[in-house]
């Protein structure tokens, strides 16, 4: 049961969440890897390699993990979030990220990915932990040459059998 949430000062964990089992810490990590693409935000492409993006994000997670390795076990959560549709991780990217996070020890008890659907709405995916049985026959190299193309949701239109919507 959550009893309260407070934002922490800059240069520390982002939030403290009070629960009936004591305080928990929440760190945020934005998925906006402009440095990954090597271009300014307004020039970032809507296409990427899920394999490369997942490895890049895993590297960023591990950097954050090193920063907080002294956190008490059972008390540290990471929330990955995105602010631009071009960086929407595909299911392949998410699966690869789950795989990488299952193979290396990190400081986070749980890692979540928030994917927005509309303004103020979205869904959570658990990135870590995942059951080891999921990865027994998983071969990340089979996805090495995949490409993901994200579509701009602001340009979507509802179309019915009668033709384009007038709304």
In a 10 Å sphere around its CB, with 0-12 CB exposed, 13-18 middle and 19+ buried, how is residue 147 labelled?
Answer: exposed
How far apart CA 157 and CA 167 sit, in angstroms, is: 9
pLDDT in tens, 31-62: 987 888 888 877 889 899 999 999 999 999 99
Chain centroid, CA 107 distance in Å: 16
Distance set, CA 31 to CA 10, 11, 24, 61, 82 (Å)? 19, 19, 23, 11, 5
Q: Give phi and psi for 4, each to the nearest 5.
A: 170, 155
pLDDT in tens, 93-140: 999 999 999 999 999 999 999 988 777 888 899 999 999 999 999 999
| pTM assigned to the model | 0.85
In a 10 Å sphere around its CB, with 0-12 CB exposed, 13-18 middle and 19+ buried, how is residue 41 labelled?
Answer: exposed
């Amino acid at each position: 049961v959550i009893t309260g949430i407070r934002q922490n000062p800059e240069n520390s964990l982002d939030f403290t969440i009070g629960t009936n089992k004591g305080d928990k810490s929440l760190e945020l990590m934005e998925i906006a890897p402009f440095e990954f693409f090597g271009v300014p935000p307004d020039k970032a492409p809507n296409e990427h390699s899920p394999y490369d993006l997942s490895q890049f994000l895993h590297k960023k997670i591990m950097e954050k993990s090193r920063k907080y390795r002294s956190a008490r076990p059972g008390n540290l959560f990471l929330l990955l979030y995105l602010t631009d549709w071009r960086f929407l991780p595909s299911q392949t990217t998410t699966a690869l990220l789950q795989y990488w996070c299952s193979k290396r020890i990190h400081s986070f008890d749980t890692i979540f990915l928030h994917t927005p659907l509309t303004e103020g709405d979205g869904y959570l995916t658990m990135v870590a932990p995942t059951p080891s049985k999921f990865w027994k026959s998983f071969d990340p190299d089979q996805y090495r040459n995949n490409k993901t193309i994200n579509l701009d949701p602001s340009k979507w239109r509802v179309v019915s059998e009668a033709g384009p919507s007038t709304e």
